[in-house]
Amino acid sequence: MFDLHIHSLYSNDGEYSPTDLVRQCVKSGIKVMAITDHNTVAATGEAKQSALEHNIDYIPGIEIDCTFKNTNFHVLGLGINFNDAVYKEIENNIRTQGQTISYSRLQKIRELGFNIKEDDLHALSKHSFWPET
């Protein structure tokens, strides 16, 4: 059995550490896995090591969020060279975009009459991998 589309806590829609995900795969009988977090390969080192220790084949991956001709896509990359600098560039680009969008959304929320401060948002997201968003 295999699962090639798993999100860790490094994705905004994931909640488990890479090691916890490997353990869950072991319990589920999965022999081949890939963590394909949104726009980052941050989980790969830990996941690869943990998978090795648990006799699971690990395939490095990523899910890149992108837009083409005004249509949003999620492109899944498997078997990638996760050490390539392009993945750090993608992550940094997404961080910058997320921060810009977050401040824009905060301004719009304030215009609706809600008294929300930046400190409130930072407190909510301080333990996230993407705290600026």
pTM for the model stands at: 0.86
Specify the higher pLDDT residue, 75 or 103. Answer: 75
Q: Is 51 helix (H, G, I), strand (E, B) or coil?
A: helix
Determine the pLDDT at residue 133: 74
- Which residues 6+ apart lie within 8 Å of 62 measured at CB? 36, 37, 39, 40, 41, 76, 77, 80, 82, 87, 90
Do the beta carbons of residue 90 and residue 71 sit within 8 Å? no
Task: Kindly tell me if the per-residue pLDDT of 42 is higher than 80.
Answer: yes
Report residue 19 as tokens: 């090691």
Averaged pLDDT, 61-85: 95
Cα–Cα distances (Å) from 93 to 64, 97, 99, 107, in that order, read 11, 6, 10, 22
Determine the pLDDT at residue 98: 86
Determine the straight-line distance between the first and last CA of the chain, rounded to whole angstroms: 35
- Which residues 6+ apart lie within 8 Å of 17 measured at CB? 8, 9, 46
